[in-house]
Amino acid sequence: MQSHIRTIEYHRDDALHDGALVLPDGAHEPLPGVLVFHGWEGRSEGQEHFARRLAGLGYGAFCVDLYGEGRRGSTPAECEALMTPLVQDRAELRRRLLHVVEVVAALPELRADALAAIGFCFGGLCVLDLARAGAPLKGVASFHGLFTPPGLPTVSPIKVRIAAYHGWDDPMVPPADVVALGQELTAAKADWQLHAFGGAKHAFMNPGANMPDMGIEYHEATAHRAWTAMAGFLGEALA
């Protein structure tokens, strides 16, 4: 299915953010929508690639820009400098996350009553935080995301369906964190599922990830399996 993309600029306080909306060609009615949250690098071509794949499944997809003002990271040091302030201030991160959901819910091309979110790495943490915050979403899917809770009030029960796709050999998310997430979501009475893939490391969805000594590596088989599982999850959540 062919798709097209257009920039959607939005403001939060005095900062300009440049998101992008990807729609299947020929769409005439409002579509179920999926927010796509980037990794630590900021808005990226990889993010748009996944948005186009979502359009191929019949969804409208919105590429989120969490940093604003055109800020992108091109080196690990630059990426870390962009991400760290938000990881250290999860209250501010929550405010940005909830704001962009409001922005997307107001788009006439998308159905405000049928929204979900997916995220990668840092973005995987973001979508879990949206579920914890009680965002008006039907489901969230985290790919090789961080599981650390935000230390903020969490709604209970969590009504957003949750799926997490995790590489078992990811050094950034040890088994104890996986167990802790399951315990946290169970206590919050969430509808949750967690897929752990043997042999997969951090960033297994990213074809450009190639730092195996740091536990960062693309894993083609896992990328296919995780995306296929997510397609089923979204089909259920946005039905």
Percent of the chain with pLDDT over 70: 100
Predicted confidence (pLDDT) per residue in 73-109, tens digit: 999 999 999 999 999 999 999 999 999 999 999 999 9
Q: Give the pLDDT of residue 50.
A: 98
Average pLDDT, the chain: 96
Residue 113 in tokens? 């009553």
Predicted confidence (pLDDT) per residue in 11-37, tens digit: 988 899 999 999 999 988 999 999 999
8 pLDDT band, cuts 50/70/90, is very high
135 pLDDT band, cuts 50/70/90, is very high
Handedness of CA 39, 41, 42, 44 (dihedral sign): negative
Phi/psi zone of residue 13: left (φ > 0), alpha (ψ -120 to 50 degrees), beta?
left
How many angstroms separate the CA atoms of 29 and 18, rounded?
Answer: 24
Angle at 99 between CA 94 and CA 104, to 5 degrees: 130
Whether residue 40 contacts residue 122, with contact meaning beta carbons closer than 8 Å, is answered with: yes
Question: Model-level pTM?
Answer: 0.96
* 109-119 CB burial, b ≥16 within 10 A, e <16: bbbeebbbbbb
Predicted confidence (pLDDT) per residue in 182-224, tens digit: 999 999 999 999 999 999 999 999 999 999 999 999 999 999 9
Q: What is the mean pLDDT of residues 66-79?
A: 94
Q: Which fold has domain 3-238?
A: Rossmann fold (3.40.50)
Q: Give the pLDDT of residue 28.
A: 85
Q: Give the pLDDT of residue 1.
A: 78
Whether residue 47 contacts residue 143, with contact meaning beta carbons closer than 8 Å, is answered with: no
